[in-house]
Structure 1
Amino acid sequence: MAYRNGTYIAFHAEGSTDPTASDIKYYRMMLAWRAKDGSAFPFYNSHDKVSAVRDTSQAETIKRSLRLRMDNSKNMVLIIGARTRFDTDFVPYEIGDAVDRCHIPIIATYPGQGVIRSPNNLRDLWPSALQTRIDNGKAKVIHIPFNRNAIEDAIGQFNHSKVPAGGGLGYYNDDAYREFGLL
């Protein structure tokens, strides 16, 4: 059995390695946070695959690599930007693997959002793979803004044996948001 201590991060890269394009910039921000002060959250780069994303001969090889990384993860951070719902290849696969096979919670984080009190209001941003699993009760999700304090708290708190309250529509209360400096 794998030692599940990492955090798997998924985002829609739109096939780009440009650090300013797509949601890769938010992933790179998380890398910068960790590098700056040695943040205590280990995570796996799910997008070492970018150069091979459009090569269908390598899709199964990529998925095998992603499964190995997911096996070592206690949770998944899913960065949900304006275009994430349009991803048709790896993000839906990663969501399905996290929920259906690994049974790990998802930390859905939204760049540009403030305090989130009603995750259903963000439904239009969700990839269908997430929406289906929230609707059928399989996904255990906390919905948070893209904020370092909130992300670090969620990574430290939720794992395969401690999932967010609220099923697929979990969110933090105002006391937590005050602690994160958002209220």
Structure 2
Amino acid sequence: MANRTGTYFGFDGLGQTDPTKSDFRYYATVQSWASGKGIDFKFVNSHEKASAVRDTSRRATLEASIRQRLAASKNMVVILSGDTRKTGSMLSYEIEKAVDTYDLPLIIAHTGYNSILDPSALSNRWPNTLTTSINNATAKAIHIPFKKDAILDAISQFSVNGARLGGPLVHYTREAHVGWGYIL
């Protein structure tokens, strides 16, 4: 198996060709954190490890590229927004493969929240494949707010090579959220 050092980012493109109208904008935020001067946020992006595939590619080609990227990844960040679809996006395929084939820990980053202290309260945001893998406990996941420090901490800790998550509804403590300055 390939050296698994990358972090795979999954998000719903919402069927849009304009990335500013989809959850791609959150992924672009992560890219800006990684490239910003004076910002200590670095990660190996699994999307850069395989040949780029356009949205117009045949589904089989796209799925093959996704599998190649997931195989090289140590974990997967799943970006969920209020717009994320329950079905019909490649995100569902990505989650299914990450959990069932590659045994990747999932870092579920919820946009629009300062803290995640009860992940099950956000189940209305989960794509059906995520709901299934959480309910049958095949997913190993930590639920975090879409915030730089939380994402960086989770990426650095939870991987196929590092700390294992104890189940599908793991979250950081209230104290951790306070320490990051997300809540009082």
Q: TM-score, normalised by structure 2?
A: 0.90
Deviation readout 1:149-175 (Å, 9 max, x if unpaired): 00000000000142223x100000022
Cα distance between partner residues in 1 of 2:41 and 2:115: 23
**Conservation of the 8 A alpha-carbon contact between 2:87 and 2:128:** no
1:164 equivalenced with 2:152 (yes/no): no
Cα distance between partner residues in 1 of 2:15 and 2:89: 10
1:85 equivalenced with 2:85 (yes/no): yes
Please state how far the C-alpha of 1:9 moved relative to its aligned partner: 0.2
Identity in percent: 38
1:140 equivalenced with 2:140 (yes/no): yes
1:11 equivalenced with 2:15 (yes/no): no
Query: Which residue of 2 is the match for residue 76 of structure 1?
Result: 76
Gapped regions of structure 2 (runs ≥ 5) = none
1:45 equivalenced with 2:53 (yes/no): no
Gapped regions of structure 1 (runs ≥ 5) = none
State the SS of the aligned residue for 1:85.
coil
Cα distance between partner residues in 1 of 2:13 and 2:87: 9
Cα distance between partner residues in 2 of 1:42 and 1:179: 26
Please state how far the C-alpha of 1:17 moved relative to its aligned partner: 4.1
Cα distance between partner residues in 1 of 2:55 and 2:19: 14
Considering only aligned residues, what root-mean-square deviation do their CA atoms show, in Å? 1.7
Deviation readout 1:19-41 (Å, 9 max, x if unpaired): 42121110000010011036221
- Name the structure with the higher helix share: 1
- The count of residues paired between Structure 1 and Structure 2 equals 177
Cα distance between partner residues in 2 of 1:20 and 1:89: 17
Cα distance between partner residues in 2 of 1:163 and 1:131: 20
Query: 4+ residue runs of structure 1 moved beyond 4 angstroms?
Result: none
**Conservation of the 8 A alpha-carbon contact between 1:17 and 1:50:** no
Query: Which residue of 2 is the match for residue 94 of structure 1?
Result: 94
Query: Which residue of 2 is the match for residue 21 of structure 1?
Result: 21
